[in-house]
Amino acid sequence: MSPAPAQRGREELGKHEKYRNSTGREIRELCRAGLWEDSTAGMARNFYQANLVILPKEYAFEFMCFCHRNPKPCPLIDVTEPGNPEFARAAPGSDVRTDLPAYYVYREGELVEERTDIKNIWRDDHVGFITGCTFSADAVLEESDVEFGRIETASGRFGAYVTSISCEPAGRLHGHMVLNARPVAAHSVARVVEITSRYPLAHGGPVHVGFPEQIGVDLAKPDWGQDRGTFGNYVPVFWGCGVTPAVVARESRLPEMITHKVAHMFVTDLRI
């Protein structure tokens, strides 16, 4: 019998705890060796983790423009040369085809496949992009005096929501912005803005503070992740979310996009 979700959550966190002080390279090597197919939450806490997007070269300039125009959901960290699977600046020696625990493949905007490597589908015209991830700021927030509402989900994280905010389009790329919500004690709101604004590569400061309905969000119905936390007397604060490109793939009907699996990130060599 598989353990109850709360029990499983604690076990998972324990398993991740072992790699808390690992380097980015160590996590990538673990994935490359086929020894880790799980979420990277809480691992290599001192290193930036990143969302992955792989697109055909034909879309590369447009996606660069998209990231530049939408830095809150898509803070660009590094770009590969076309056909070269290495993120040469953020993670020298890396191989994007093997160094993540799991991948999603989207075709015509639909998620069609989940894989643990992409060796057989990587092509010479593929370009890889990594954009910053909220896990990186989490490490700093954990040590801070910011008071959050209780988080009881197995993943230890709150839900992500497709909002009514349109991203700034770029060529053929357009879509609604995805935001992560966290409940913040009123007396901590200014502080959490100050702290997260210092980390633009981890989505920076919030996109919205206070009224979910103004951005088309029903807190009880996240599009990703369970929301079993408490908002109650806490202020809902929303940060850019790296799932946004998946929504862009769907809304723009992109022929092909490969990404990391949600929460299964590329861990860089960049220290926070």
Q: Is 64 in the site for a second copy (CB under 8 A)?
A: yes
Closest approach of a second copy to the CB of residue 146, in Å: 24
Closest approach of a second copy to the CB of residue 76, in Å: 6
Which whole-number Å values give the CA distances from 53 to 105, 128, 228, 234, 248, in the listed order? Answer: 10, 6, 29, 33, 11
Span of 64-72, 142-150, 235-243, 256-264 interacting with a second copy by CB under 8 A: 64-72
Question: Among residues 225, 223, 226, which one has the least CA distance to residue 215?
Answer: 223
Rounded to an integer, what distance in angstroms lies between the CA atom of residue 20 and that of residue 248?
Answer: 32
Q: 104 forms bridges with which residues in the sheet?
A: 114, 259
Rounded to an integer, what distance in angstroms lies between the CA atom of residue 75 and that of residue 46?
Answer: 18
CB closer to a second copy, 145 vs 168: 168
Question: Which position among 10, 18, 68, 253 is part of the footprint of a second copy (CB under 8 A)?
Answer: 68
Span of 65-73, 141-149, 202-210, 244-252 interacting with a second copy by CB under 8 A: 65-73
Q: Provide the 10 A C-beta neighbour count for residue 23.
A: 15
Query: What is the footprint of a second copy within residues 153-182 (CB under 8 A)?
Result: 168, 171
Q: Please check whether residue 146 is in contact with residue 239, taking contact to mean a CB–CB distance below 8 angstroms.
A: no
Q: Is 194 in the site for a second copy (CB under 8 A)?
A: no
Amino acid at 122: W
Q: Is 202 in the site for a second copy (CB under 8 A)?
A: no
Question: Which position among 10, 20, 69, 119 is part of the footprint of a second copy (CB under 8 A)?
Answer: 69
Span of 16-24, 45-53, 62-70, 236-244 interacting with a second copy by CB under 8 A: 62-70
Query: What is the footprint of a second copy within residues 22-61 (CB under 8 A)?
Result: 57, 60-61
- DSSP letter string, 181-213: EEEE-GGGHHHHHHHHHT-GGGT-S-SEES-GG
Closest approach of a second copy to the CB of residue 243, in Å: 22
Closest approach of a second copy to the CB of residue 78, in Å: 8
Q: Is 123 in the site for a second copy (CB under 8 A)?
A: no
Rounded to an integer, what distance in angstroms lies between the CA atom of residue 32 and that of residue 37?
Answer: 10
Rounded to an integer, what distance in angstroms lies between the CA atom of residue 118 and that of residue 91?
Answer: 18
List residues binding a second copy (CB under 8 A). Answer: 57, 60-61, 64-65, 68-69, 76, 79, 81, 89, 168, 171
